[in-house]
């Protein structure tokens, strides 16, 4: 049981480049979420999903897209990276609405 996995662990992009942060879980959890962590700002919710084919926006969705074609995978896409998107990104999953979340190890993204 690998839990929640994220790739890559580190990434450097130039402004305007696009990329996809990968997130996968092998616990058959319905709920998955993406957060970004910035100094002094805590964890802010970007997008979340309550099941395959269903996604919704969180607190800071601008500049990010998501899709959920399978229960296991929840990729986060940056279409045109900006320096303001430099952050640590965490993916999380949980079985249901009332449960605690399990977090991946994070991806540290730098946009130059």
Partner 1 sequence: AQKVTQAQTEISVVEKEDVTLDCVYETRDTTYYLFWYKQPPSGELVFLIRRNSFDEQNEISGRYSWNFQKSTSSFNFTITASQVVDSAVYFCALNRDDKIIFGKGTRLHILP
> Does 52 sit near partner 1 (CB under 8 A)?
no
Tokens representing residue 17 in the block: 């480049």
> Does 56 sit near partner 1 (CB under 8 A)?
yes
Positions of E strands within 58-106: 64-66, 76-78, 87-94, 102-103
For the CB of residue 2, give the shortest distance to partner 1 in the complex, in Å: 14
4-32 burial: b if 16+ Cβ within 10 Å, else e:
bebeeeebebeeeeebebbbbbeeebbbb
For the CB of residue 55, give the shortest distance to partner 1 in the complex, in Å: 11
Positions of E strands within 10-86: 10-13, 19-25, 31-38, 42-51, 54-57, 64-66, 76-78
Q: Nearer Cβ to partner 1, position 65 or 102?
A: 102
Out of 19, 27, 43, 52, point to the residue binding partner 1 (CB under 8 A): 43
> Does 101 sit near partner 1 (CB under 8 A)?
yes
Q: Nearer Cβ to partner 1, position 19 or 43?
A: 43
Residues in contact with partner 1 by CB under 8 A are 31, 33, 35, 40-45, 48, 50, 56, 58-59, 88, 90, 92, 97-103, 105-106
């Amino acid at each position: 049981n690998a839990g929640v996995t994220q790739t890559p662990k580190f990434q450097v992009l130039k402004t305007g480049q696009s990329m996809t942060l990968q997130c996968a879980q092998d616990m058959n959890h319905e709920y998955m979420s993406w957060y970004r962590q910035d100094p002094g700002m805590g964890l802010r919710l970007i997008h979340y999903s309550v099941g395959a084919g269903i996604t919704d926006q969180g607190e800071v969705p601008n500049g990010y897209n998501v899709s959920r074609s399978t229960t296991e995978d929840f990729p986060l896409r940056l279409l045109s990276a900006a320096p303001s998107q430099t952050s640590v990104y965490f993916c999380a999953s949980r079985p249901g609405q009332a449960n605690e979340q399990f977090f991946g190890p994070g991806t540290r993204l730098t946009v130059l």
